[in-house]
Structure 1
Amino acid sequence: YGCGRLNRDGLQIKSYWEGEESVTRFTPRPSHIAIPGYVYGGLIASLIDCHCTGTAAAAAYRAAGREMGTEPAFRFVTASLHVDYLKPTPLGVPLEVRGTVKEIKGRKIVVTASLSAQGEVCARGEVVAVEVPENMFPAGGS
């Protein structure tokens, strides 16, 4: 699993702006279990990672004054991922990830995020995302 709209086994999250925050929602499946009733921490890290790299790309479009999806595409990879697990995350309820752009510096964008279940923050994270050159991706790749 993981990121990328072309990854048919991926999480397939879609992130949107709500003011200055980016937001995505995802409902974990039974296969995302850690211990009975709770979400696996690796999925939580993956949600934060995918949402934050997507937020970095969206922020790059905003900073450049361009519409999302215009070419050449802005694509980002994770240089650093830090997650603090604050409390067990329940399985079977929608999760919400909210991101905030902390810093834009050249090809690097730092995004902080919180992951909540039923209004309770269960995890916080920070991603350092780095823009990659267009030629790193095959034609039509994501």
Structure 2
Amino acid sequence: MNDQSAVQDYLKRNMCWGCGRNKYGLQIKSYIVGEESVCVWQPKAYHMAGPKHILNGGIIATIVDCHSICTAIADAYRREGRELGSEPFIWYVTASLSVNYLLPTPIDEPVTLRARVKEAKGRKSVVSCLLLSKEKRRVTAEVIAVRVSPEEWYGRRVN
């Protein structure tokens, strides 16, 4: 796997608001660095919570979720000994997201997310994620990611 390219760059069909090719979205980028994935993302002023200097908790949950899912996808490709993005495509969705807000996250500095797969068994992966800002732990999280068929996921109509 090329550590210089973001995981999201290989996920051509991904239009997610948090991590996909959505021009209105957050467009986070996750990079594989050794046994973990790293994302450095700069919030915009309009991502504020009630106080203008604090990052909104929903935005935090979104970037944690997206970064963790991309981590699970990259890990599955690695475990199968395949190039990231090779066919048949591997896709994961969120089954559970648990976010622990430890400290307010300032909006004027980049945030760093670090995630790793703690457990992978069958279709399920458990991913732990840490969000840091100004060298302090602001958020810890755990995501349970479940592998799904991309054809089923992308082909499904939602009424």
TM-score range, shorter chain: over 0.9
Q: Corresponding residue for 2:140?
A: 124
1:102 pairs, out of 118, 123, 143, with 118
Structure 2 unmatched runs, 5+: 1-15
Q: Corresponding residue for 2:25?
A: 10
> 8 Å contact 1:2–1:50 — kept in the other structure?
no
TM-score (structure 1 length as normaliser): 0.92
Structure 1 runs (4+) deviating above 4 angstroms are none
- Once the two structures are superposed, the pairs formed by residues 62-141 of structure 1 within 5 Å of their partners are 62-136=78-152, 137-138=154-155
CA RMSD in angstroms comes to 1.2
Following superposition, the deviation at residue 4 of structure 1 comes to: 4.1
TM-score (structure 2 length as normaliser): 0.83
**Alpha-carbon distance in 2 for matches of 1:110, 1:23:** 17
**Alpha-carbon distance in 2 for matches of 1:2, 1:44:** 13
Matched, 1:33 2:48: yes
**Alpha-carbon distance in 2 for matches of 1:82, 1:36:** 25
Q: Deviations over 1:35-55 (max 9, x none)?
A: 120000001111110000000
Q: Which structure has the higher relative contact order (CA within 8 Å, separation 6+)? A: 1
Partner SS for 1:31: helix
Structure 1 unmatched runs, 5+: none
> 8 Å contact 2:96–2:144 — kept in the other structure?
yes
**Alpha-carbon distance in 1 for matches of 2:55, 2:129:** 17
Q: Which amino acid aligns with 2:21?
A: L
Partner SS for 1:121: strand
Q: Corresponding residue for 1:50?
A: 66
Following superposition, the deviation at residue 9 of structure 1 comes to: 1.7
Percent identity over the alignment is 46
Following superposition, the deviation at residue 3 of structure 1 comes to: 3.1
